[in-house]
Amino acid sequence: MSDAATKTMNMIEAINSALDVMLGQDPDVVIMGEDVGYFGGVFRATAGLQKKHGKTRVFDTPISECGIIGVGVGMAAYGLRPVPEIQFADYIYPGLDQLVSEAARMRYRSANDFICPMTVRSPFGGGIFGGQTHSQSPESLFTHVCGIKTVIPATPYDAKGLLIAAIEDNDPVVFFEPKRIYNGPFTGYYDRPVEPWSKHEGSAVPEGHYRIELGKAAIVREGGAVTVLTYGTMVHVVKAVVAEHGIDAEIIDLRTLLPLDIETIEASVKKTGRCMVVHEATRTSGFGAELSAQVQERCFYYLEAPVERVTGFDTPYPHSLEWAYFPGPVRLARAFDKIMKD
């Protein structure tokens, strides 16, 4: 923890603060992406940073994700620590080869001759009426790739500490930001007013430098009846449903998907005997499948019910029927009923 003063921040402000701290502290840090410079990003994550740190540190790029990430790999080979932004996770695919075949493999294929300390930031997830090209959750594409770390924060405090740790990490990190909770911890009850971050303890963010170690989950609610493994926006949805229905659930916010904090997961599931996996991404081959497999391998004899998956459906993210797609309170309540009955 830093000695610096603590301030109430929403997630965008916390991310902006992390970037500001790193730009100030490490001359190798460079930020680039579509609209990130003068304008400060479509979600304002880089607002004011170009003015403060200069145009060669924070700058706009052509609309070419392949170019953004490929150029980042080259900058990292030179010795910089690039932090490119991909405007929406849905746009990351043109850069996938540069991430999967290049960034992720650089240390291994060159036997440490070249490394790639690059952090790719990208807003992801739905619930904002973004349709099928502004709502996706592609995290399992990256957890499947050896050589990349995948990090997803759920609070402003975690977002800043994890992002600083990601930038300081000497390997490539994909940092997915749950854009539905940039401005407040969305509970999934979309017809109720959204609370601002200021009413949430996770909005107390130190102004200076601090890190949250990658690969460590957080138990955000202790409980004895069922373990819920989740991350990002869904942490808050699960918390709200658990409170609404008075369920004695232990909720684990994974924070880093890879490397996975399997020790925390294993201890919790062995304690509760039940495990539910919750993510917004499509179900088949989603990260929930990996979690379910690992829990089954390690905790089979402790389980009193099959591992339950609560996810988005295997369709593109629909526009008008967004709330029928989203794994919200109704789907979660049904899953809790099922897992607690078994």
Partner 1 sequence: MGQHQRENLAPLHLHIPEPKFRPGDKADFSDIIVPEVDAIARPDEHVAPADIHALAYGLVRVLDDENAATGSWNPGLSADTLRLMLRKMLTLRAFDDRMFRAQRQGKTSFYMKSFGEEATSVATTMALHRDDMCFPSYRQQGILITRDYPLVDMMNQIYSNRGDRLKGRQLPIMYSAKDYGFFSISGNLTTQYPQAVGWAMASASRADTRIAAVWCGDGSTAEGDFHSALTFAAVYNAPVIFQVVNNQWAISSFSGFAGSERTTFAAKAIGYGIAGLRVDGNDVLAVYAAMQWAANRARTNNGPTLIEYFTYRGEGHSTSDDPNAYRAAEEYALWPLGDPVERLKAHLIATGEWTHEQHEALVATLSDEVKAKQKEAEQNGILGHGLHHPFETMFEDVFEEMPAHLKEQCAQMLEEQHDKFGPEWEAR
- Least Å distance, CB 144 to partner 1, is 13
Give the Å distances, CA to CA, from 35 to 81, 87, 112, 135, 196: 20, 8, 34, 19, 26
Q: Would you count residue 70 as binding partner 1 (CB under 8 A)?
A: yes
Q: Would you count residue 34 as binding partner 1 (CB under 8 A)?
A: no
Q: Is residue 134 among the annotated active site residues?
A: yes
Other beta carbons within 10 Å of 2: 13
How far apart CA 10 and CA 58 sit, in angstroms, is: 22
Give the Å distances, CA to CA, from 169 to 119, 137, 334: 8, 23, 40
Other beta carbons within 10 Å of 310: 27
Q: Would you count residue 295 as binding partner 1 (CB under 8 A)?
A: no
Q: Which residues, 304 to 333, sit near partner 1 by CB under 8 A?
A: none
Q: Which residues, 156 to 175, sit near partner 1 by CB under 8 A?
A: 169-171
- Least Å distance, CB 173 to partner 1, is 11
Pick one of 5, 56, 300, 301: the residue that binds partner 1 (CB under 8 A): 56
Binding mask 249-278 for partner 1 (x = CB under 8 A): ---------xxx-xx---------------
Size of the site for partner 1 (CB under 8 A): 48
User: Do 240 and 251 meet the contact criterion of CB atoms below 8 Å apart?
Assistant: no
User: Do 160 and 15 meet the contact criterion of CB atoms below 8 Å apart?
Assistant: yes
Q: Would you count residue 334 as binding partner 1 (CB under 8 A)?
A: no
Query: Rounded to 5 degrees, what angle do the CA atoms 210, 185, 8 make?
Result: 45
- Least Å distance, CB 73 to partner 1, is 5
Tokens of 252: 């684990």
Pick one of 11, 22, 23, 106: the residue that binds partner 1 (CB under 8 A): 106
Of 77 and 225, nearer to partner 1 (C-beta) is 77
- Least Å distance, CB 115 to partner 1, is 8
Of 149 and 236, nearer to partner 1 (C-beta) is 149
How far apart CA 201 and CA 205 sit, in angstroms, is: 9
DSSP state of 233: H
How far apart CA 240 and CA 179 sit, in angstroms, is: 18
Q: Would you count residue 204 as binding partner 1 (CB under 8 A)?
A: no
Catalytic residue among 53, 134, 200, 279: 134
SS3 92: coil
Of 12 and 71, nearer to partner 1 (C-beta) is 71
Pick one of 8, 42, 44, 67: the residue that binds partner 1 (CB under 8 A): 67
User: Do 327 and 342 meet the contact criterion of CB atoms below 8 Å apart?
Assistant: no
User: Do 82 and 59 meet the contact criterion of CB atoms below 8 Å apart?
Assistant: no
Pick one of 5, 112, 300, 320: the residue that binds partner 1 (CB under 8 A): 112
Q: Which residues bind partner 1 (CB under 8 A)?
A: 30, 56, 61-62, 64, 66-67, 69-80, 82, 94, 97-98, 101-102, 105-115, 146-147, 149, 169-171, 215, 258-260, 262-263
| Catalytic residue list | 134
